[in-house]
A and B are shown apart, each in its own frame.
Chain A
Amino acid sequence: MDLAALKTQLKNFVQSMFEEGVLDNQFSQIQALQDSTNPNFVEEVITLFCNDAERIINEINRNLGYQNVDFSNLDSYVHQLKGSSSSIGANRLKLACANLRQASDERNKEGCLQALQLITCEYCLLRRKFQALLHLERSIVELETNQK
């Protein structure tokens, strides 16, 4: 596939993510920040995000495993995740965080578990898509460097 087609494919892919609500406008800002001085910005941010999100989800998971759940601790994790998600434009994940926050406020452990499952799902989905996106990006970069 040639460069132009790849780029179109990437664009369409990202567009589909917007339409599904997986990503929102913030991601466009992030894409816009990638330039010659910062050529790998998107990839860096995505990688950073995935690592951090997984860490947090694991922590939340662990916390919910205890007999007595520390809800305020949980709340701070949710908050972190929400912050990260919104910073990268992960819209659905951010919304899923709101669920968990609410359940946590209500001290509803069962609700928290449910919400966490939703979060995990959303995250898995997002991660898959991000991986695809990054592959596309890398292919593009590869082609571009080859062409030079």
Chain B
Amino acid sequence: MTMEEKMGGSNREDEAMDRFPVGMRVLAVDDDPICLKVLGTLLLKCQYQVTTTNQAISALKMLRENRNRYDLVISDVNMPDMDGFKLLELVGLEMDLPVIMLSAHSDTKLVMKGITHGACDYLLKPVRIEELKNIWQHVVRRKKPDSKDRVNALNQDKASGGIGEAVQTSTSCSDQKFNKKRKDQNEDEEDDGEDNEHENDDPSTQKKPRVVWSVELHRKFVAAVNHLGLDKAVPKKILDLMNVEGLTRENVASHLQKYRLYLKRLSSVATQQANMVAALGGKDPSYLRMGSLDGFGDFRTLTGSGRLSSASLSSYQPSGMFGRLNSSAALNLRGISSGVIQQGHPQTLSNSINGLGKIQPVGLPANQNQNGTLFQGIPTSIELNQLSQNKSANHFGELNPVNNPNVFGVATNFPDARMTVGSSSSSLSTPSGSPLLLQANTQQAQHSGAIGNQSSLGVASLNQESFDMGVHGFSNFVDNGRCHENWQNTVQLSSFPSNSLSTCEAFSHEQLHTNNLQESISWRSSHLSDNPIDLSASMANAGLEHSRGDMQCQISPSNNVIHNIDYAAKRQWGENSSFAGADSLVSGAPYVQHLEAGKLAFNTKLRSNEDFLFEQRKPQNEFSQNNFETLDIISSSMIKPEQYNETGMMEGELGYDAFPLGSCI
């Protein structure tokens, strides 16, 4: 289910740019509806134009429809339908839009992953408006090549750390799509100007043809490098050795950079992988993206066949190399190795979705004409990209959602191929109920919004329902004895009607609020029928508890009234009220039974209960004392089952050990 809110006026880029950063068009992606809502509103407050969606897939779709419709993308890291990092890469590579990652976790590893996947920034939830006010800088950076200094200055200002200058300098090379891949290389070598054979004075319009590193060309390159020795290989000499017309030193230099990095990565990853494979059988989650055993198998044989050194490279054959790079690429490598999976034919790609192993034989031969081999890096990617852009739309339609991530990754010929193939199952771990849940939520929101006239009897019957479910749920959740469950539920059932009856006269109107909430919970639980929720019971309890409090604040005009009514109600109910009080205790009780933590919560609950009531009627201290007295009554009454008769409590049901409760007080 997609929620889209298009806010703001026209989407014409010119207009937006005039008032920049006001009106900057942001696409926000987050599966968490609360975060999404808050984020969207915050962004609006910053005067950006905001589009929100809770599905990565639809976000991609929107972006692909019109890349120029957005200036910036903000995406959550953990999403059920697609991994945030994958989305990040795809967006960066296909559309070259700045992407900001969002996450509730601040693990260094995750942040690093964000960087390596090309995020402009990594924000932690909860997002603050101050941070959002600065995000427009990423858009500017992308457009201006000489922004290095500004980048550094801005970096220091930013409160949200995690992304260093490395990422920023990469964006200095305009909106050429693959600069993101080069960011790591840019870190190492200062020839920013040189890794593009064209300087980008006018970034948004220039699109000069790039050198295409064909198999032949690359072979010559590698031969030259090997001949010179990797350490001694300098662009000039390589160029001379290669003796190719039209090739500039700059071309070679950039290619060399990538090559070196590629090798470095392969060797380090190879070590890791080998160790991992040996020790764990490939259980590392981040590596397990490749998922399929095929990939691992390939890799193993490849590492067995020798380290990836320049020597082995020189003896490369297309399929072998491809295979190697393929699997190494599967290990989340970016940069050079990513260039490998450039595959010209989406058709072949769609085959490859079925199995990583298939890529090897299928991919390469078909790609000969499409320069579909190694080290294509940027030059070919453009063409491939264009091609894939056309095709990916088709693909998107073709495949079912489960396969989509794969399609995206592979169809766009990017590193994601490696990731997506593996991650098909892992990233799509959504409970299948989630769309349903969303739906239910929406409906429920409507439902709870409506405050109609509901008879309390109606509510009681709903409670019955939740009672039934509650029992079921409890058996799952709590390891305690059954008597315990029954007790709790009967509490809920019995006390609620009596509660509602007494309140019916005076407060039926106000009661509806809590009724709604209770009902809506029960309603919801009835819809989520796969496993009923014990929570509904405790929710009802909470609601029940609250309904008393509710009355207190509803009758707010005079404190006295509240006090009187409440007190009267208390007396009226006698054990009912103490019982209702017991509710809160009771709901705390099972938790308390074994546990310190629970105990803490329990006490907290008590305290807060008291506080809450206290807050409502400040002068009435005695009420809170009453509350404690009530607790004493309860603790003793729990030992005396007969006291519960009036409230319909079944004798003998209380096999539950009341002592922990008492000891908590």
Contacts and interface: CB of A to CB of B under 8 A. Distances in A.
A79 B84 CA distance: 14
A7 interface: no
B598 interface: yes
Interface residues of B, number: 79
A52 B32 contact: yes
Most chain-B Cβ atoms within 10 A of its Cβ — which of A55, A62, A124? A124
A124 B126 contact: no
A108 interface: no
Contact of B598 (A73, A117, A131): A117
Contacts of B517: 50, 131
Nearest to A35: B45
Interface string A77-106: 001101110111100000000010000000
Interface in B325-371: none
The B interface, classified by DSSP as helix, strand, loop or mixed, is helix
A128 B612 contact: yes
A6 interface: yes
B535 interface: yes
A26 B138 CA distance: 25
B105 A55 contact: no
Nearest to A77: B431
Contacts of B448: 47
A114 B554 contact: no
Contacts of A48: 33-34, 37, 441, 445
A48 to B, nearest CB: 5
A72 B556 CA distance: 47
B590 interface: yes
A61 B473 contact: yes
Contacts of B449: 47
A87 B129 CA distance: 12
A30 B41 CA distance: 9
A87 B126 contact: yes
Contacts of A50: 517
B68 interface: no
A134 B516 CA distance: 13
Given A47-B445, A49-B34, A121 B429 contact: no
Contact of A44 (B37, B608, B611): B37
A9 B32 CA distance: 32
Given A57-B535, A117-B591, A125-B608, A132 B546 contact: yes
B125 A83 contact: yes
B476 interface: yes
A99 B591 CA distance: 15
B637 interface: no
Nearest to A40: B449
B78 interface: yes
B591 A121 contact: yes
Nearest to A129: B612
A20 interface: yes
A6 to B, nearest CB: 7
Nearest to B587: A124
Interface in A36-65: 38, 41, 44-45, 47-52, 54-55, 57-59, 61-62, 64-65
B445 A79 contact: no
A130 to B, nearest CB: 10
B558 interface: yes
B230 interface: no
Contact of B34 (A13, A29, A87): A87
B477 A64 contact: yes
Interface stretch (B180-188, B490-498, B599-607): B599-607
12 contacts: A20-B611, A26-B128, A49-B34, A52-B441, A55-B441, A55-B524, A83-B32, A117-B595, A117-B601, A118-B600, A131-B514, A132-B553
Interface of A: 1, 6, 9, 12-13, 16, 20, 22, 26, 29-30, 33, 38, 41, 44-45, 47-52, 54-55, 57-59, 61-62, 64-65, 72-73, 76, 79-80, 82-84, 86-89, 99, 113-115, 117-118, 120-122, 124-125, 127-129, 131-132, 134-136, 138-139
Given A9-B556, A62-B530, A65-B531, 12 more contacts: A13-B615, A45-B34, A47-B445, A51-B524, A58-B525, A58-B528, A61-B473, A88-B34, A121-B601, A122-B601, A128-B546, A128-B549
